[in-house]
Amino acid sequence: MIVEERKNITSSESHIRGSLLSYQLDTFGFYGRTEFKNICLEVYEEGMIRVRISRKEKFDNFHYALDNNLNQKSIDYLEKEDSIVISTGKVEVSIMKAPFRLVFRNEKGEIINEDDSSFGTSWIGEQVTTYKKLQPDEKFIGLGEKTGPLNKKGHGFQNWNTDHFGYGTNTDPLYCSIPFYMGIHNNMAYGIYLNNSYKTHFNFGASNNRFSSFSADAGDMDYFFMHYDSVNEIIGAYSRLTGKMSLPPKWSLGYQQCRYSYYPEAEVLNTAQNFRDKEIPADVIVLDIHYMEKYKIFTWDKERFPCPETMINKLKDLGFKVVVMCDPGIKVEEGYATYEDGLDKDVFIKYPDGTNYEGEVWPGWCHFPDFTKPETRNWWTEQLQSYSDLGIEGFWNDMNEIATWGQSLPELIEFDFDGAKGTTRNARNIYGLMMAKSTWEGAKENLNGKRPFNLTRAGFAGIQKYAAVWTGDNVASDEHMLLGMRMLNSMGLSGVPFAGFDAGGFIGNASENLFARWISMAAFTPFFRGHSNVNTKSSEPWTHGEHTEEISRNYISLRYRLMPYIYSAFQEASETGTPVNRSLAIDYTFDDNIYKTAYENEFLFGGSILVAPVSSEKEIEKIYFPQGEWYDLFTDEKYEGNNETLVECPMEKLPVFTKASAIIPVQSQVYSNQETPNEQLEIHLYKGEESNSYVYYEDDGDSYAFESGEYYKRSISYQPDKNKLTFGSTQGTFQSAFKEVKLYFHGFVTDELNSLAIDHEDYHFISPLSNFDPIATDLHKDYKIKDLAYTTFKLINNEFSINWK
C-alpha cells in the first residue's frame, strides 16, 4: 500500500513537470506528447488559438456550444532548441519543451498570458486544471451570470447550473454557466473560453497571489485563447466561436408584464386593458404555470382558460402578444397525452438500467426529455405545435437546470449526446442550452417565417443563439437591483446581448421608490419585464401609487420612443456580438476608475447613452464620467469626462447621459411595438469634438425577410472638424416607415449652425439659418421624460426637416 502511494505521488509530479517527448507540425496545427499528455494546438483566426490537452489517445468532441461555421487556419511556425513558436500575425505562442508549458505574446513580443512555470496543465484525479501566472495588476471580467464585483480578481467561481431561489448577492453557482472570461493588464486584453461542460472552477487569484486557474471535474482541457486589440473585438471573436444572437422580433423588445400567476382569463384581459386605459406602453402578457391543468405542460386549465384561442385573439386586438411558461417536467400520468406520446417515442432521460428517471417538481413525479437526443428535439417541435396553432409566438423555458425538489439530480443518469452518450456530470450544465435550442428551433419551424421569442433561465456558452436569458428568482432590494445591473453587464461581456432581470424584484415587496427606480433602470436593459412572486404585491406599474405609476409610464414611454435606437443596437449585436448593455470595461478598458465599487455598475446602453444605476434611497450620487464630454439626457447640461461629479437624482430622475457627438434616432410615442409611429423620425445630434458614425437599421420586425435583403440601413456621420452631418445612401430593399426626418441640435450655438453642412444624397443644405432659435425651452417639469424631444435647440419655428428617402 505504501509503495502504491509513492508511485502515485511520483506519477503526479512527472505529470506536472512533464516535458515534450515527441511532436509534429503540419499546415493546421501542432501535435505533441509528454509522458502523460496528448497535446494539440490549432489556429482558428488570427487572434484565436485552440489548446487541447488530454490523457486519452483521442480528444473529447464536445461541440454543442460551438458554432457550426468554425474553420481552422494554416499556421506559421519556427522550431527552436527550447521551444516551438507558432505565429498567427496577431499572437505568438511559444510551446516550451522542458517542462511543457505555453507562453502567449503579442506582435511586440510582450507577454499576454503564460502558464505557471511549474504547474501548467495538470490533473488531480479526474480533475484537470490549467494554471496561469498572474500578471501585474491583472483584472478579470466576464464569466456570465455571476455575482460579485465587475473585476473578479481575488474571487473564485463554479459553473454548475443550480436553481437558487432568492439567491444572495454573493451566491455561487446560479442558473447559467458561461465559462468565458477576459484578462486585462498592461494595456492588453485576452479572452479564454473553456470548452468543457463538466462542473468547472475558476480561480482569479483567490486565496493565493501566484496564479489564476480554470479546471474541469473531468474530461479534457480544451480552451480557446483569444487576443485582439480591444475587449469588444474579443467579445466579437467569442461570438463567432459560439454563435451570434438571432435578431429577435421587435415586439419582444417592448415591456413585458408577468405575474406568478395571472388567472383566470378575465384577469389576463383586465391587466392588458389597464395598460391601454392608463396609456402605459406594453407588448406582452406572460402566463406562468397556473395557465396549465395541474402544471402539466401543453395543457390548459379548462376552468381558468376555457377558450385560450379566443383570449389570445382578444389580446392581439389590444396589441399584446402572449408568452407561455414551458417547464421540462412531464408528469407521469396515464391518459396525459404528452406523457403517453413521450413514452411511446422513448424521449426521456434514463438510469443506467434503462428505466426512465423520475424527479418531483410542480406537477408531481415527472420524466424529463433528453434534449441531447435528436428524436427528442423532433418530438418537442411536435408538442410545441399546439401553442403555435393558437397564435402563441413567445416561449419561456424555466426550471431547466434541471430543477427538482431536493435539488440533487443523480449523477448516474444517462443522456444520449447525439449518440456519444454521457451522464448528468457533463449534461447538467448544458441541459438548459439544449432545451432552449429545441424550443427555439421547434418554434421557428412551427411559426412559418415568423421570428419566435425565446427566454430561458438556465444556459451555457452559446445560449445567445437560441434565447434571451433572465437572472432568475431575484429579491426586491436595492442590493439586488444594483447586483442585477452588474450581472446583465457581465452577460454582455460574455456574449449574451439579450438579457434582463425581474424588474421590481420577484421575491418580496418593493417600496414605491424601489419600484420606480428599478423600472426606470430596467427601461435601459435589453430584456424588459416586470414580474412578481405569488403572495407578493403585483408588479404592474399602477400598483405602487400614482406618483410611481407616472414615473413608470414616463420611462417605459421613453424606451418606446427610443426604439429605433434600441432596435439598431440589437441588429448590431446580431451582426457583431457587441452587446446592447455595454459595461464601461468595453470602451474604457484601461481606466481604473470604472472598476471601483462606486462606479462598476455604470454602463452604456447602445453606443451613446450612459446610465448610472443608483440606489432608490439616494437623491444625490457621485457619478464617474469616462473620457469625453457628456450631456444630461433630460436637461442638456454638459459634463466633462475623466471626472467624478455629484449629480442630483431624485426618484423621478435616473442619471442618464448622452455622449458628445452622439447621433440618436427617436420616434413618436406608440403604446406597442406592433403600432406604427408617425412618419417623422427625429434625429438628435450632440455637439462634440470627435467624429462619429451611426448605423440606423429598420426592417419589418417580425419575419426573416431581412435575411434576403429586405431591410433599410444607412450610415449617418458627423464630422465636427468640417462642421458636417452626412446621411449616407440606403442599403436594402425595405421601405422605411418614416418619410421625413426632423433634426435636433444639442449643445450648438448659432454661429456653428449657420455654417453646418447637411449632406443627404443629392440634397445639400448650407445656412445661413436666419430663423435659428437658440433658446431651449425646458418642458421637463417633474422630469416628464416623454417630453424628451422638446428640451433641445430648435431650427426654423422649432423644427427643421429633410426628406428621408
Phi and psi at residue 42, to the nearest 5°: -135, 150
CB 362 within 8 A of CB 331: no
Residue 717, strand partner residues: 693, 726
Separation of alpha carbons 644 and 657, rounded Å: 14
Q: Which residues contact 306 (CB under 8 A, 6 or more apart)?
A: 265
Phi and psi at residue 30, to the nearest 5°: -110, 135
Q: For 593, how many CA atoms within 13 A lie in the half-sphere containing its CB?
A: 14
Of 465, 434, 461, 470, the closest CA to residue 452 belongs to: 465
Q: Report which residue type is found at 98.
A: A
CB 558 within 8 A of CB 788: yes
Separation of alpha carbons 661 and 647, rounded Å: 22
Of 571, 793, 603, 523, the closest CA to residue 700 belongs to: 571
Q: Catalogue the active-site residues.
A: 398, 401, 473
Cis upstream peptide for 774 (omega within 30°): no
What secondary structure does DSSP assign to 561-593, as a single string? Answer: HTHHHHHHHHHHHHHH---SEEEHHHHSTT-GG
**Secondary structure string (H, E, C) spanning 688-753:** CCCCEEEEEEECCCCECHHHHCCCEEEEEEEECCCCEEEECCCECCCCCCCCEEEEEEECCCHHHH
Phi and psi at residue 51, to the nearest 5°: -120, 120
Q: End-to-end distance of the chain based on CA atoms, in angstroms?
A: 84
Q: How many CB atoms lie within 10 A of CB 639?
A: 17
Cell 449657420, located at residue: 754
CB 83 within 8 A of CB 95: yes
Residue 415, strand partner residues: 422
Of 681, 239, 309, the closest CA to residue 462 belongs to: 239
Q: Which residues contact 515 (CB under 8 A, 6 or more apart)?
A: 504, 539, 544, 548, 552
CA 364 to chain centre: 33
Q: Report which residue type is found at 4.
A: E
CB 186 within 8 A of CB 136: yes
The angle, 0 to 180 degrees and rounded to 10, between the axes of the packed helices 478-493 and 512-522 is: 10
Q: Which residues of 505-534 are buried (b: 16+ CB within 10 A; e: fewer)?
A: bbbbbbebbbbbbbbbbbbbbbbbbbbbbe
Torsional sign, CA 261, 264, 268, 270? negative
Torsional sign, CA 706, 744, 676, 258? positive
What secondary structure does DSSP assign to 413-447, as a single string? Answer: -EE-GGGT-EEHHHHHHHHHHHHHHHHHHHHHHHT
Phi and psi at residue 87, to the nearest 5°: -120, 130
CA distances from 111 to 124, 185, 190 (A): 28, 10, 11
Of 618, 616, 612, the closest CA to residue 513 belongs to: 616
Separation of alpha carbons 683 and 769, rounded Å: 18
Separation of alpha carbons 229 and 235, rounded Å: 11
